[in-house]
C-alpha cells in the first residue's frame, strides 16, 4: 500500500512541476524498477534465516550419508 501511495504522490509532484509526460513515464518506470529490486532484496533478507536452516539440514543429511558402513 505504501508503494502505491508513493507512486501517486511522485507522479503528482512531477506533473505539478511541469515536466513532460515522457519524462514522467520514464521516472515512473525507474521508480517501479527501484522499488522492485529493493523489495526483492528485503524479501531475501527476511527469508535468510530459513535459507540458513535449510542449508544446515541439507549439510547434516549429507554428512550422515558419508558415514562408513
pLDDT in tens, 55-64: 999 999 998 8
Mean pLDDT of the region 2-6: 80
Give the model's pLDDT for residue 69: 59
Contacts with 19 (C-beta within 8 Å, 6 or more apart), sequence order: 27
CB 31 within 8 A of CB 7: yes
Tell me what pLDDT residue 8 has: 84
Give the ranges where 1-69 is alpha helix by DSSP (H).
2-16, 21-65
Question: Residue 52 belongs to what domain range?
Answer: 2-65
Interval 10-51: pLDDT, tens: 888 888 888 888 888 898 889 889 889 999 999 999 999 999
* Location of C-alpha cell 524498477: 33
Give the count of domains, the chain.
1
Long-range contacts, 37-45 (Cβ 8 Å, 24+): 39/3
Amino acid at each position: 500500500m505504501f508503494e502505491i501511495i508513493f507512486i501517486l504522490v511522485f507522479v503528482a509532484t512531477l506533473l505539478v512541476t511541469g515536466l513532460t509526460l515522457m519524462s514522467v513515464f520514464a521516472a515512473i518506470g525507474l521508480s517501479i524498477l527501484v522499488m522492485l529490486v529493493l523489495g526483492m532484496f528485503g524479501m531475501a533478507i527476511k527469508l535468510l534465516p530459513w535459507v540458513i536452516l535449510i542449508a544446515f539440514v541439507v549439510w547434516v543429511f549429507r554428512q550422515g550419508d558419508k558415514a562408513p558402513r
